[in-house]
Amino acid sequence: MSATKIVLLGAPGAGKGTQAAVLAEAIGIPHVSTGDMLRAAVAAETPVGLKAKAVMDAGHLVGDDIVIAIARERLAEGDAQKGFILDGFPRTLAQAEALDELLPRIGSGIDCCLAITVQTEAIVKRLLARAEIEGRADDNEETIRERMRVYDDQTAPLLDYYRGQSLLREVPGMGSVEEVSSAILAELEAA
Ligand code: ADP
């Protein structure tokens, strides 16, 4: 396995969280999800959590400063030194640039950006189904559409950012969990 510092990109509902967990297990590196860390902060009612809750419930992005600080702290931990799968970070150009500045201090830069591609209508369906199962506060239809708009606007430009560095690899996300993870592993082998 050549790539171990991996950014996973994809619209909300593309399956990033599921795939990141499978890959982290398969490769033996930590799964770093800023969404999970923020939800934990909300649940624990930390100062960051109290600030982030309303923003997340509305489907908007938490401020770059907060999220960059969270990611920086997590990536400085011992288990992240041999590699990591970043899920949900970076989500803006400013975050991607911050990550690039941060990484040389903890070793080398990222090896690969994997983008899971799916179609909008399929995603909305998936997210509505997940809303019923998990009851996440940001999984109602209006918020889902808002998160898609935010993705198109703020996060999709990162595809070009990583393409420009020849780090982008795209994997179709519509198969089964196993099909998608095999496709991702094959891309990583080749990266
Ligand atoms: P999704 O399943 O929609 O991809 P996540 O679980 O990754 O969502 O994140 C949930 C919410 O947490 C986001 O809608 C956003 O409000 C906040 N969040 C997570 N990561 C970031 C980030 N890198 N920058 C800003 N906000 C973030």
The full DSSP string for 54-105 is: HHHHTTPPPPHHHHHHHHHHHHTSGGGTT-EEEES---SHHHHHHHHHHGGG
Q: What is the pLDDT of residue 112?
A: 94
Q: Answer for the pair 70, 36: CB distance below 8 angstroms, yes or no.
A: no
| Region 158-179 average pLDDT | 94
Q: Determine which one of 5, 53, 126, 147 is catalytic.
A: 147
Q: pLDDT at residue 138 above 80?
A: no
Shortest-distance atom of ligand 1 to CA 36: 6
Look up residue 151 and give its DSSP letter. I
Residue among 5, 16, 53, 126 flagged as catalytic:
16
Percentage of the chain exceeding pLDDT 90: 71
Known active-site residue 51: no
Find out whether the beta carbon of 55 lies less than 6 Å from any atom of ligand 1.
yes
Percentage of residues of the chain with pLDDT beyond 70: 97
CATH of the domain at 103: 3.40.50.300
- State the Cα–Cα distance between residues 104 and 88, nearest whole angstrom: 20
Q: Atom of ligand 1 at shortest distance to CA of 71? A: 23
How much is the mean pLDDT over the chain?
A: 91
- The residue whose CA is least distant from atom 16 of ligand 1 is 56
Q: Which domain holds residue 75?
A: 5-190
pLDDT at 134: 79
Overall domain count for the chain: 1
